[in-house]
Structure 1
Amino acid sequence: MILDIFFPNRCIHCNKIIDGNSLVCNLCFEQIHFTHFNFFENNYIKEKCKLLFPIENAFSLMQFEKESLSRKIIHELKYKSREKVGKVLAEWTTDHLDFKNEKPDLLVSVPLHSKKLKERGYNQLHLFTETLSKFYEIPFSHDLMKRNHYSKAQALKDKEHRLATENTFSITKKISGKHILMIDDVFTTGNTISSIAWEILKAGDNKVSVLVMAMDE
């Protein structure tokens, strides 16, 4: 296409011209710190979640170190209007995550407040979740959970404010007897995930697992 000639897709790290559906070149891809966690075994993110709520399984695709390429990728998705980054991250996830014969019943993305959704123009988790749903053949819901309060980005909050998440979310419909896989972009303190998990657990005889794009130690 003409646009590809005048505005070619470039690696977000080294600026090399790359395929239109890619994020990074092959050399930069090798610099991404994937976790290689086993969804069904104990790992760092599962141990962190255990301190906050009853959890079944957990998985993080990448590490989220300071000045890392993974951090740059997530920021492209959230703050640079590159919604399609979510699809690429989902494709990378399918290369690393095998549910075997124990698939969750439902994929649930962390919601944005309606004001934040209007500001950003999209929820950065939706395309990611929908791509995973199609690949694994698991239904998804973007509206099971509702965010009750508008707040600034987690990255801009100090630790004290990040801990104040009580009544942040509410569940919008009755659900019981389901294994819910909660999906978020970055796991930091775990308080966002915990707030949602308890709403789901209180709603009925449900089980909760966690999947995030990256985890910040």
Structure 2
Amino acid sequence: MRGVGRIAGAIFDFLLPPICPVCEDSLSEGGVCSDCWDDLLSSLVLEPKTYFGFRVYSLFLYRGRVREAIERMKYKGMFAIVSTFAPSLAEYVREERPDMVVPIPLHPARRRERGFSQTELIARAVASELGIPVVRVLFRRRYTAPQALLDAKGREENLRGAFGCLRPLRGERVLLVDDVITTGNTFYRAASVLVGAGASLVVGGTLARGGPT
């Protein structure tokens, strides 16, 4: 049976050759293409950043090919970037010793429109690496406008009271996951709800961060 599996795998690789998980160009073998590798190295983030008193660990700056890959994930359902970089994000945050991973939730209407939640996909992949559960304890109380369309004051007002928590937390350490963090307003509002529900620690994990470095 193992021989059959190897043959099937070889056929699969022939029919569907490996692609770069960042730009999705075809490759002769697995990994990241040289152009994307150079871009990733120049965008690598080496230290967590604090937003409104909360530490957030991001792998890359939200620019160039990283931005293009995340936009393909969100709007075209191309998820190679998640499986490729979730292990690195998990190792980055491991020292915080989280008990659970909580994804920033999409509003149900936006989830139906998109067909998936990219934050849940990232959360599941990271949680699998860490050996801890994904807990969908946060929910959106109301539909909110996309933050990218608003100015600073609008972003703050847009998210006021936007999140709720489904149950009390009893001192758990939470890793709160999103795809990108920019100003930190979304993260702050969600993290504050978790702290109010009883979390002893909330730290963030994202694939990328935007805004000033």
CA contact (8 A) 2:23 2:69 kept: no
Structure 1 equivalent of residue 78 of structure 2: 82
After superposition, the Cα gap between the structure-2 partners of 1:195 and 1:138, relative to the gap in structure 1 and judged at 3 Å, is same
After superposition, the Cα gap between the structure-2 partners of 1:20 and 1:128, relative to the gap in structure 1 and judged at 3 Å, is farther
Residue 29 (structure 1) aligned to one of 37, 56, 78: 37
Q: Confirm whether residue 17 of structure 1 aligns to residue 11 of structure 2.
A: no
Unaligned runs of 5+ in 2: 1-10
Deviation at 1:151, TM superposition (A): 2.8
After TM superposition, list the pairs within 5 Å mapping 1:65-214 onto structure 2.
Answer: 65=63, 68-94=64-90, 97=92, 99-100=94-95, 102-141=96-135, 143-164=136-157, 165-204=159-198, 206-214=200-208
Structure 1 equivalent of residue 7 of structure 2: none
Deviation at 1:157, TM superposition (A): 3.4
After superposition, the Cα gap between the structure-2 partners of 1:3 and 1:170, relative to the gap in structure 1 and judged at 3 Å, is same
After superposition, the Cα gap between the structure-2 partners of 1:152 and 1:89, relative to the gap in structure 1 and judged at 3 Å, is farther
Moved more, 105-114 or 200-209: 200-209
Residue 56 (structure 2) aligned to one of 39, 50, 58: 58
Q: Residue 129 of structure 2 aligns to which amino acid in structure 1?
A: F
CA contact (8 A) 1:163 1:189 kept: no
After superposition, the Cα gap between the structure-2 partners of 1:190 and 1:3, relative to the gap in structure 1 and judged at 3 Å, is same
Deviation at 1:2, TM superposition (A): 7.2
Unaligned runs of 5+ in 1: 38-42
CA contact (8 A) 2:139 2:164 kept: yes
CA contact (8 A) 1:61 1:214 kept: yes
Which has the greater radius of gyration? 2
After superposition, the Cα gap between the structure-2 partners of 1:13 and 1:196, relative to the gap in structure 1 and judged at 3 Å, is closer
Identity of aligned residues (%): 26
When the two chains are superposed, the root-mean-square deviation of aligned CA atoms in Å is 2.6
CA contact (8 A) 1:179 1:207 kept: yes
Deviation at 1:12, TM superposition (A): 7.0
**TM-score, structure 1 as length reference:** 0.79
Deviation at 1:26, TM superposition (A): 3.3
Q: Residue 212 of structure 1 aligns to which amino acid in structure 2?
A: T
